[in-house]
Structure 1
Amino acid sequence: MQYREILDQLRAHVANLFQSNKDERFIYHNLHHTEQVVENAVRIGNHYQLSDKDFFIVTAACWFHDLGYMVDCGQHEAKGAELADQFLKERGVDQDVIDEVKGCILATKMPQQPEGLLQQIVCDADLFHLGGESFKEKNKLMRSEVEAFTGYKVDKGRWREKTIALFKVHHYHTDYCQELLNEKKAANLAELESKMNEKKLEVIKDTNISLAKEEQKEEKKKKNERPERGVETMFRITSTNHQRLSDMADNKAHIMISTNSIILSVILSLLLRKLEDNPHLIIPTLLLLIICVVTMVFSILATRPSIPEGVFTADDIKAKRVNLLFFGNFYRMSLPDYENGMIKLMDDRDFLYGSLIKDVYSQGVVLGRKYRLLRVAYNVFMFGIIAAVLAFIVAAAAVTM
């Protein structure tokens, strides 16, 4: 397959489409933006040393990813995929390659959830500017484009809020972009938040200074009613104590398992051989054998782990039913789903403290089960050993008589 030749044809085709369907309202989503996305994809692809086929898939997807704006702005990803499908089929490109190109285009739809390296590269190339030096300029172009299509002025503060929300849910998918862009992206976000905070302060001062002071007093009063540091210290100490008690329970169980294993070994290797010559020892030996087995079973049950299904739903997050602090509730979830859940958890104070309470309670329930089973094991062992020893004494006395 002559991928380079097809890419040259593709480049000319896309440029011709932008020229023939030129719309002055496309201040941001134009040919210049598409070319920059392609350059970003080439840069990332070179880092990962993609094969000719994979390089073609990524580059072709970037050329077509925004062409759908000319057809339907609301469904531009799907329309772009259709245009790519039509063009590549006419050039005799294999269907599996076409499907991968379409998958990369559709993966750019927000919120981005790419599957595989190629889709990750296209997604990161599309939003490369969030962690770049040109972010301010491109953000202004995007706002101007929205104003051109809607026909009314977009409030800067409202636009800044939406941009901050995008920053918080977005993350780069490739390791290369994370290392290259995360630091500058964090700086861009910090600058946006700083301007947002400055604007809020100005509004407060202009509207009612006395009201602002009163709100500060109320906020201070609320903080005094529930000291944050004291609550966090309480949770930390409680969780640490539970962990220590769990370790102690495991150690106690291991002691019982090891002790009874030794006794069982002695019974099986020595006593069972002599039962034919000493039939009076059969009952004491069987009694001791049963005691050891029962004790080991309860000790093993005390240490045997139980793991939940490991999944949660958006409804669980919304209703605050799931505890994201325990691995058993999320170990089968994807990283983006878990990140979204944790972001909502950290943004909601009641949700956060509720999860900490559930975590401490769950630890206590597990500890209660462990110690109940251990108590049974120790009681069986203690009273059973006494009974076994008495049985051996009685049997020996009966023989001597």
Structure 2
Amino acid sequence: MEPTLTQKPAKAEIVKQAKAYVQALLEEKLPAQLVYHSPKHTATVAKEARALGEAAGLAEADQEALVLAAWFHDVGYIDTYDGHEFRSAELAGEWLSEQGYPPERVVLVQQLIKATHRDATRETELEQLLVDADMSNMGRDDFFANGELLRAEWEATLGKTYSNPDWAENQLAFLCAGKYYTKAARERYEEQLKDNVKEQRKQLKKTEKKKKKKDEEATGTFAEPKRGIETMFRTMYSNHMKLSDMADKKANMMISLNAVLMSLIITYFGAKLGSKTAALSNVGIIRNPIIAVPMGILLATALASVITAILCAQPDVTSFKWLKRSPQIATNRRVNLLFFGNFSKLSLDDFQHGMTEIMGQKDALYTNMVTDIYYLGDVLTKKYRLLRLSYTIFMVGLILTALSFGIALLYKA
């Protein structure tokens, strides 16, 4: 008799029906970020489960239950990630019941699927065979490629990120802790598992060496200075010298300008006031005394501006009175033997001893160079503060002079 549409599929066909159903379900509903627990992974586990069952000599019914459980063991990922095994068992039970599969066999398939949970106890041979098939990845030559897929999946799904050394350590720990329950699985995967452990150890060593080399290139070492460090110090010294020279030139310009201005004002009024007759009859200040206000402001401005400019341009040498009492001159972070303001307080013997220490210890050399740059920057800060003050005084003084002169003209008119 030909089967009708209402008839249930024969037991020999149930595995093919399950394969088609699971593949369609995963293709349609499985989240795209699950690049490891993909339809390919499910098909591989089903294939390995069939091979292990045949190697173990399972009865036909048990072989069928094992392969069915393998096809359904990850379908729960369409709804949840953690604890997907229990959802997989539910979905498997629903579909198998709809197909008229015997209830006791449905329960067996569900028990096998639940056994793949990380905390489950695997007591029966079927449970152990399914878990071995699920973990067959450890003993296959595609372990490392699949590992990268799992790494990407965890990052996209769980937000777990690993550096290369961390991931290598994680994978090595996983391989070392992994085991196969059944004789069939050990015979099929154990040799490749050992090879994978060896290869993972090699990769971990290579990764650690690369990380160490990268860290050394990024930070450098005192034992072997890098060209980048030397370039940095050379550039910093050059920039400090240029800034110091610029400040001195600007200060000299203010000194010259204000000195000339003061000389003209004093010379003019000195010559006028030197003659009593001229002072009484011709000087504008006598005829219009208010004109003395802008002239006085201009003179005070020039005086204040030239004083601050002189303070900016004058040499500033830092020194330490306690330098001779320092027991470790070369390694003291506050002492700079490369600057004459410090070492001029030392005796020749102490200076030679300190320089010998610097030349013999790279960390002492860098300490002194850093200290030298620090005090150069401290001097520059003072210079530019005084220079800014000089220019500000000059600018404000000129404005006040112009305003007061205008007021004086209005008053005279």
Q: TM-score, normalised by structure 2?
A: 0.48
Q: TM-score, normalised by structure 1?
A: 0.49
Give the helix-richer structure, 1 or 2.
1
